[in-house]
């Protein structure tokens, strides 16, 4: 199966999350958001992106109002959700998300760099390695281009 580095033109559209895994050398991969996470990644022609990811089977708040949630409910909601947006660029097989808004405030103003590989209609984005509890790991997310957006392209 042929792997290709992505171009901005190939990214444009809406992508549905297929899998989200954390990988450590010599360890079995983990699925922090469960076996069937929900997520969408959008890249626009004008150079903006947004990403929303949620865990499989998130717990509902007892109250119908999010502001009335308990501390535990709010913590769980934060831990099972990822969202951010901003401009993006593509350089040498990497997609760079220039974060302007995020559920995690520390990412605002950062550059989230992802190695990007395209195989047919599947886009694999991988984070650089980072350290957690003394172990090096990286996240790998696989996205499938939605049929509705598969036809969207930027003239080259």
List, for residues 104-125, the tens digit of each pLDDT value. 999 999 999 999 999 989 999 9
Strands 101-102 and 130-132: unpaired
Q: Is residue 153 part of a domain?
A: no
Q: Is residue 67 part of a domain?
A: yes
Q: How many beta carbons lie within 10 A of that of residue 28, not counting itself?
A: 7
Q: Is residue 63 part of a domain?
A: yes
pTM exceeds 0.95, yes or no: no
Residue 20 clears pLDDT 80, i.e. is over it: yes
For residue 30, give its domain range.
4-145
Residue 75 clears pLDDT 80, i.e. is over it: yes
**Helix, strand or coil for residue 71?**
helix
Count of domains observed in the chain: 1
We report the CATH number of the domain holding residue 35 as 2.40.128.280
Question: How does residue 151 score in pLDDT terms, banded at 50, 70 and 90?
Answer: low
Can you point out the beta strands (E) in 33-152?
38-43, 48-54, 81-91, 94-98, 101-102, 111-119, 122-126, 130-132, 135-145
């Amino acid at each position: 199966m042929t792997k290709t580095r992505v171009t901005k033109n190939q990214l444009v559209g809406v992508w549905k999350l297929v899998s989200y895994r954390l990988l450590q050398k010599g360890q079995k991969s983990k699925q922090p958001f469960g076996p069937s996470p929900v997520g969408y990644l959008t890249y626009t022609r004008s150079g903006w992106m947004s990403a929303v990811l949620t865990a499989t089977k998130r717990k509902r708040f007892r109250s119908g109002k999010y502001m009335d949630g308990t501390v535990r409910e709010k913590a769980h909601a934060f831990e099972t959700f990822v969202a951010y947006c901003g401009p993006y660029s593509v350089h040498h097989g990497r997609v760079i998300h220039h974060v302007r808004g995020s559920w995690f405030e520390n990412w605002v103003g950062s550059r989230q760099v992802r190695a990007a590989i395209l195989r047919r209609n599947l886009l694999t984005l991988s984070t650089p390695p980072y350290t957690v509890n003394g172990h090096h790991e990286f996240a790998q997310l696989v996205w499938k281009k939605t049929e509705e957006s598969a036809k969207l392209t930027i003239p080259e």
